[in-house]
Amino acid sequence: MNYIWELAIYAKQKGMDEDAIFYTIGQPFSGYMELSMECINETEIPEQVEINPYYRYFEIFKQLFAPELDENQEIIEVVHDLAIHHLKDIDVLMGMNRREYYIQFMVKDLEQGYFGSYVKEKIHVFSLEEKKTLANNLLRLYETGEGIYLLRDTVRRIFTSTYIFSNAEERDEIIFYLRTKQTKEKEQKLEVIKYLFLPFKCTVEVYWERIFGVMGVDDLMKIDRIMNY
């Protein structure tokens, strides 16, 4: 990572409050990088991050934080941190289009309970990217009304190895073979997806590590690895 916006996005992906990071003027700092971390390939985010404020923002800081100033250091550090946080927010938002804004608003609605207390209680089990997947497909649901298609699409995006079958002849049933170990967290994710996208007329049958054999699908016709349906 070299730029403050990279650090902010990385912190969000790790579920951290990137507003809690305190940015200080590096003593000393590199003239070739914006972030002045001890390890250039750092994977952990410290609470206090040293930066080179002149790397991209020389015109802003050249008269505010001149190196020869040695008075009111505490005030300088606080003002510097506030300014960098503001510039960081501008940096991050510059890469967003209108759709990204809508997705961000939808994620906040999910987290704040506008889709029900059940979703609010369980939404924390999803990563940031998974929340964006939910939000984007909810927007598509409002636009198209295609609940079944978006249910399948959401499950495939979050459980990436999934097989999905429909039993439309006998009843309106969707069968998910998730091909992953069953855990409480994964169960909660699937229940939230069903809560948001599953039409009332449909039912869901879920298989985790084993499923019945399916003619024409070689991966599902292995001896001793199938079950009765």
Of 173, 102, 166, nearest to 137 (Cα)? 102
Kindly state the percentage of the chain with pLDDT values over 90. Answer: 28
Are residues 104 and 188 located together in one domain of the fold?
yes
Decide if 227 is inside a domain. no
Residue 228 has pLDDT above 80, yes or no: no
Are residues 137 and 158 located together in one domain of the fold?
yes
Q: Confidence class of residue 214 from pLDDT cuts 50, 70 and 90?
A: low
Are residues 131 and 194 located together in one domain of the fold?
yes
Decide if 86 is inside a domain. yes
Are residues 83 and 172 located together in one domain of the fold?
no
Are residues 143 and 103 located together in one domain of the fold?
yes
Are residues 149 and 213 located together in one domain of the fold?
yes
Decide if 228 is inside a domain. no
Q: How far is residue 24 from each of residues 14, 29, 30, measured CA to CA in Å?
A: 22, 10, 13
Are residues 73 and 108 located together in one domain of the fold?
no
Which of 62, 94, 126 is a domain's end point? Answer: 94
Decide if 205 is inside a domain. yes
Range in 58-67, 82-91, 112-121 the model is least confident about? 58-67
Tokens of 112: 């704040």
Decide if 60 is inside a domain. yes
What is the model's pLDDT at position 168?
A: 61
Which of 62, 79, 94 is a domain's end point? Answer: 94
pTM recorded for the entire structure: 0.64
Q: How far apart are CA 4 and CA 85, in angstroms?
A: 9
Number of structural domains, the chain? Answer: 2
Are residues 70 and 142 located together in one domain of the fold?
no
Which of 73, 94, 115 is a domain's end point? Answer: 94
CA triple 4-9-13, angle to 5 deg: 145
Are residues 44 and 132 located together in one domain of the fold?
no
Domain containing 214: what range?
A: 98-220
Are residues 139 and 209 located together in one domain of the fold?
yes
Are residues 144 and 209 located together in one domain of the fold?
yes
Residue 158 has pLDDT above 90, yes or no: yes
Beta strands 203-207 and 173-177, pairing class: parallel
Decide if 194 is inside a domain. yes
Could you count the other beta carbons within 10 Å of the beta carbon of residue 121? 12
pLDDT in tens, 65-80: 666 666 777 887 888 8
Question: Which amino acid belongs to residue 25?
Answer: I
Q: Which residue has the tokens 């079944």?
A: 148
Decide if 49 is inside a domain. yes
DSSP state of 219: G
Calculate Rg over the CA atoms of the chain.
24
Which of 39-53, 154-168, 180-194 holds the top average pLDDT? 180-194
What is the model's pLDDT at position 203?
A: 86
Are residues 162 and 75 located together in one domain of the fold?
no
